[in-house]
Structure 1
Amino acid sequence: MSPSTLLDATAMLRGAGLRVTNTRVAVIDTLQDMPHSGVDALVPRVELRVPTTSRQAVYNALGDLTTAGLVRRIEPAGHPGLYELRVGDNHHHIVCQRCGAVADVDCVTGRAPCLSPSETHGFDLTEAEVTFWGVCADCTNASAARDAATT
């Protein structure tokens, strides 16, 4: 972990009024390297940085970071919860239907809440969560290569 990353994570935690712990810093640092990661992917990477941490400590750190607004949790249908550091804007996501890869997509219309529903039912809208689904370039290329090999 680079010193500049550690300082950024420390500043983020202090700015949010959270205690700076090795696990929280490692979770932030890992999410910088691996956005849109689930707990199963995060735990081994955090353990490499903080061998004394536990799966539960990573869950707790993610909960604290999410509650503090430092981390965003997304839940694409049929997938476990994923975490990212990109917060404070109303961006959306595109998910590959084959491999589950996730990418950020900026707000569709340029300003929150990005969509105007036909009926608000009295809600004061502040945010919209949109998930686009498709097939990523890697999966498309792999499929084309398989098709070419069988013809």
Structure 2
Amino acid sequence: MTTDPANLLRENGVQVTAQRVAVLRVVSAQPHSTADEVAVAVRAEIGAISRQAVYDALGILSEKHLIRRIQPAGSPALYEDRVGDNHHHVICRTCGKTADVDCAVGSAPCLNASCDSGFEIDEAEVIYWGTCPQCAASRNVET
């Protein structure tokens, strides 16, 4: 996040609260975190906060496109502050580590579907699955 979280909230018409600022800071510092992970980090930063308050903050921040919510199949939702660039993700099947992957070629080529069924496509969500280098290395050591 390159701007002050409170200013970012104001600029986007979101009421500034300590909880929302803390959630925004945590998502920025720890991209691809679950709501529970965000809650733990926010509590460490500001003290007591309910799980519902964290979910509410994540919801409004996602709705205002200040953060992005992704939900890989069979996994809890993950949150990040990299928005607006149509990037994708790669996830380790073993440990769940998640990393950003830029679009393969050009300016969001995945938005040009071979058959769009008449839809006006404005975003594509691609998730690559595999094994991260650490898990691959530990698997190779065990064999």
Q: TM-score range by the shorter chain?
A: over 0.9
Which one of the candidate residues 11, 29, 32 is aligned to 2:28?
32
Match of 1:82 in 2: 78
For 2:92, give the aligned amino acid: C
Structure with max Cα Rg: 1
**Offset at residue 110 of structure 1 (A):** 2.4
Which consecutive residues of structure 2, in runs of 5 or more, have no partner in the other structure?
A: none
Match of 1:120 in 2: 116
User: What CA deviation, in whole Å up to 9, does each residue of 1:111-130 have, x standing for no partner?
Assistant: 13524322111111111111
Q: Percent identity?
A: 48
Matched, 1:43 2:39: yes
Residue 104 of structure 1 aligns to a residue in which SS? strand
Which one of the candidate residues 126, 129, 135 is aligned to 2:131?
135
Runs of 4+ with deviation above 4 angstroms:
none
Matched, 1:108 2:125: no
TM-score (norm 2): 0.93
8 Å CA contact 1:109, 1:115 repeated in 2: no
- C-alpha distance in 1, partners of 2:136/2:7? 41
**Offset at residue 109 of structure 1 (A):** 2.1
Residue 89 of structure 1 aligns to a residue in which SS? coil
TM-score (norm 1): 0.88
User: What CA deviation, in whole Å up to 9, does each residue of 1:20-56 have, x standing for no partner?
Assistant: 1111111111112210000121111111112131111
Over the aligned positions, Cα root-mean-square deviation in angstroms equals: 1.4
- C-alpha distance in 2, partners of 1:123/1:49? 43
Residue 19 of structure 2 aligns to a residue in which SS? helix
